[in-house]
Structure 1
């Protein structure tokens, strides 16, 4: 009986490892993990995109500093005592990493629901405007005829950025015990959070494209590796103390650049297939 259970556990573990390998391979081939880095470069090269961040920087830093300081002061030693049992000397670092993750999550919940929601929306749409995706942006908001990519953004007609959901909290609490596994557990924890993070980065893009839920779900499933790659890098960047707010905006820029590239590729494919379709139609006549 015990041997059968052990064999079954090994079989399940092998299946999970194989799935993880496929996922990581898809992520690597897609190049999606580079878009958070591209977002940083593009953001600093386009000062007009700084405006939404500048309008929120002070309240965000005040919130983040308060959360991070409180978490280290009240929870570092209790969590260290627990982590020391399983991580040994590494507990000093894994506990700090865990608190950074917890602080980032708490700050993200509050800020994205109350402080940053409109600013992040403007940043995503502004980046699409800078990439000449005016018609797409016009599907979700008024677009002015003059000004830079941010100044041309008018009243938002659709708001895709949902408030923090209960499912996300449940997921986070479920994954938290993984940090008790030395090194490997923390890596898995970040990957799982990255996968969840990646699933939401193109909510605005899907809305502007007017995709129904079924099509969105199918697209995410087909490109699971790509979105996990983007989400993992984005998650790691947003865990950097104090700089997390900056990376929240640069990650948004990166997501918009990725959306613009997807759109450009689809348009190019449509143009290349259109002559062939017309020729087929003529022959049919």
Structure 2
């Protein structure tokens, strides 16, 4: 691990201690779990996920198979120094986590970007935030059936970033932290959660019409809440073979929080 990476890890560890209280008291970490319940009880929101399910499952199986073929044995050898007789199990868990992270990054960049936007917007409409959604897409009049997704017109703004090699590289550089039992894994989750939290509200910021400075100010003032949101969402997306469906429920959870923020300001 380079000196620069060590310094970054130490800085993140200090920040983790400083923000731990805010993470717990904010309650934002509950929204990804609320998203699971809301998604399960609103079948209209399933449509974007179902339309991408076949391709994302194929991608996940391909990435996971390749990772086990090329990286399982080398990582098991390294884990033997830290996990002893449990090296085989620890290495398998690590490879599954790595596969999940890579699958999620690739699928978001190339397969499910538009579907996540639709899911986020659909959740906002379900929570009576049509004026907000109208800032980023056309909304059709209510019909007799009440189908949320049927009311979704053409999106006039697409906020989610395309594939970023830097994001993938950063995620891969932090993966060795998992070789450190308990503490390393907790720090890895914190660092990824800190990044993931604000990203879950990219669409919200765009619908609000905020520029970069306004977004950064808002995130800085709510750092603990966004870190808690990101940690919970990231942990869920680490679940092997379930990262893609859980990325949709995380989008729902993020939209539920956005709806509550809007109601709190009125």
Q: Answer yes or no: is the 8 Å Cα contact 1:129–1:137 preserved in 2.
A: yes
Counterpart in 2 of 1:241? 240
Distance in 2, matches of 1:182 and 1:88, equals 11
Structure 1, unpaired ranges of 5+: 1-11, 268-285
Give TM-score scaled by structure 2 length: 0.90
Distance in 1, matches of 2:234 and 2:129, equals 27
Q: For residues 230 and 90 of structure 1, do their structure 2 counterparts lie closer, same or farther at Cα, with a shift above 3 Å needed?
A: farther
1:56 equivalenced with 2:52 (yes/no): yes
Distance in 2, matches of 1:35 and 1:255, equals 7
Q: RMSD value over aligned CA atoms?
A: 1.9
Structure 1 runs (4+) greater than 3 angstroms displaced:
15-19
Q: Which is worse superposed, 255-264 or 106-115?
A: 106-115
1:259, CA displacement in angstroms? 0.4
1:196 equivalenced with 2:195 (yes/no): yes
Question: Helix, strand or coil for the counterpart of 2:153?
Answer: strand
Q: Answer yes or no: is the 8 Å Cα contact 1:38–1:254 preserved in 2.
A: yes
Give TM-score scaled by structure 1 length: 0.85
1:216, CA displacement in angstroms? 0.3
1:92, CA displacement in angstroms? 2.9
State the structure with more CA Rg. Answer: 1
Q: Answer yes or no: is the 8 Å Cα contact 1:87–1:181 preserved in 2.
A: no
1:128 equivalenced with 2:124 (yes/no): yes
Counterpart in 2 of 1:3? none
Aligned residue pairs, count: 256
Q: Which is worse superposed, 223-232 or 153-162?
A: 223-232
Counterpart in 1 of 2:262? 263
Q: Answer yes or no: is the 8 Å Cα contact 1:94–1:179 preserved in 2.
A: no
Distance in 1, matches of 2:238 and 2:14, equals 28
Counterpart in 1 of 2:223? 224
Once the two structures are superposed, what CA deviation does each residue of 1:83-120 show, in whole Å capped at 9, x if it has no partner?
Answer: 21233234333322321221122212221112101111
